[in-house]
């Protein structure tokens, strides 16, 4: 019982952290960034990755041990949509992460990356897409829990 509660809590906390870190990245991304902005973005993205790992691992635990049972999930079409959306968000998040890592690498070489408005706009658009997709995933979970799908 306690493991079930802790797993569910960590899963929900991870989801909230995913949203919070994406919002923080969105707000921090600016056309004119300093070294500190880029370092903060790299740290925020690290926390985003950790949160995604927590959501994934606790999701697996809930699927296999602490949820409604594997058969419940495997028989629900919304489960596949939900997992697919999570994987899509993970794939989409590669682009901002690679960009932030390249900027961080340049900083370590004592070079200031050229951050243009167009790139920032593109990155912010990608993050908005991630946020939009992540907003739908809990709705799918609620529908599944109610036996829909």
Question: How much of the chain exceeds pLDDT 70, in percent?
Answer: 100
Q: For residue 147, name the pLDDT band (cuts at 50, 70, 90).
A: confident
The domain tally of the chain equals 1
Can you give the pTM of this predicted structure? 0.92
pLDDT at 56: 97
41 is in which domain, residue-wise?
Answer: 2-145
* Residue ranges in the chain assigned as alpha helix (H): 2-28, 35-61, 70-74, 77-92, 94-108, 117-145
Question: What digits encode the pLDDT tens for the residues 21-51?
Answer: 999 999 999 988 999 999 999 999 999 999 9
Neighbours of 14 (CB within 10 A): 20
**Could you give the CA distance from residue 124 to residue 31 in angstroms, rounded to a whole number?**
11
> Cα separation of 140 and 5, whole Å?
20
User: What does the buried/exposed string (b/e) look like for 25-35 if buried means 16 or more CB atoms within 10 Å of the residue's CB?
Assistant: bbebbeeebee
pLDDT at residue 67, rounded to an integer: 85
* pLDDT of 64 above 90: yes
Q: What is the mean pLDDT of residues 128-148?
A: 94
């Amino acid at each position: 019982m306690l493991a079930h509660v802790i797993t569910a809590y960590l899963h929900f906390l991870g989801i909230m952290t995913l949203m919070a870190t994406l919002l923080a990245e969105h707000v921090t991304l600016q056309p004119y960034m300093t070294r500190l902005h880029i370092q903060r973005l790299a740290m925020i993205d690290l926390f985003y990755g950790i949160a995604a790992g927590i959501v994934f691992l606790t999701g697996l635990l809930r699927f296999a041990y602490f949820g409604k049972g594997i058969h419940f999930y495997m028989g629900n079409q919304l489960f596949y949509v939900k997992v697919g959306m999570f994987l899509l968000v993970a794939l989409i998040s590669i682009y901002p992460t690679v960009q932030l890592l390249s900027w961080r690498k340049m900083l370590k070489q004592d070079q200031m990356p050229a951050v243009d408005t167009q790139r920032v706009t593109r990155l912010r658009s990608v993050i908005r897409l991630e946020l939009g997709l992540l907003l739908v995933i809990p709705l799918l979970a609620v529908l599944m829990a109610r036996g829909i799908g």
